[in-house]
């Protein structure tokens, strides 16, 4: 089934959903949100595209295999968790660094942010793998 309304709405909604997804990811350290909710919204954006244009077009637009997203996300999450033992601290203890970026001033980066990015990638990968698999069975 092809719907002109769904296709047109998808072209406008997907970028908005992806921006909201990144907003939820970055906001999640101090307020509700984070990698899990951001990943679900990001996966919803590509799922909507799959419903409107087909799974093959959605995979093309994603530009990465969901298996690759899952693997990279796990690598980032586990990597962020193992930094603390290398510094002589307990496993998954947060570590923060301060960087000075021109135009932004002092920026605080920490392992919790990288852990959230890993969760974000895993959730997008797993959700899209499930949705694409179910949609391709037809």
Q: What is the pLDDT of residues 1-45, one digit of tens each?
A: 678 999 999 999 999 999 999 999 988 866 777 899 999 999 999
Name which of 51-60, 95-104, 128-137 the model is least confident about: 95-104
Total count of domains within the chain? 1
Q: Which residue has the higher pLDDT, 39 or 95?
A: 39
Instruction: Give pLDDT, residue 30.
Output: 64
Task: Report d(CA 45, CA 65) in Å as an integer.
Answer: 16
- Owning domain of residue 131: 4-136
- The reported pTM is 0.90
Quick check: 54 and 106 in contact, CB under 8 A? Answer: no
């Amino acid at each position: 089934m092809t719907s002109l309304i769904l296709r047109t709405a998808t072209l406008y909604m997907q970028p908005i959903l992806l921006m909201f997804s990144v907003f939820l990811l970055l906001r999640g350290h101090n307020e509700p949100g984070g990698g899990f909710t951001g990943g679900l919204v990001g996966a919803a954006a590509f799922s909507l595209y799959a419903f409107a244009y087909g799974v093959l077009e959605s995979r093309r637009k994603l530009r990465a295999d969901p298996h690759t997203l899952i693997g990279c996300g796990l690598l980032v999450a586990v990597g962020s968790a193992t930094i603390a033992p290398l510094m002589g601290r307990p496993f998954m203890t947060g570590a923060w660094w301060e960087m000075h970026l021109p135009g932004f001033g002092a920026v605080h980066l920490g392992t919790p942010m990288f852990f959230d990015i890993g969760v974000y990638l895993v959730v997008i990968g797993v959700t899209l793998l499930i949705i694409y698999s179910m949609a391709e069975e037809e």
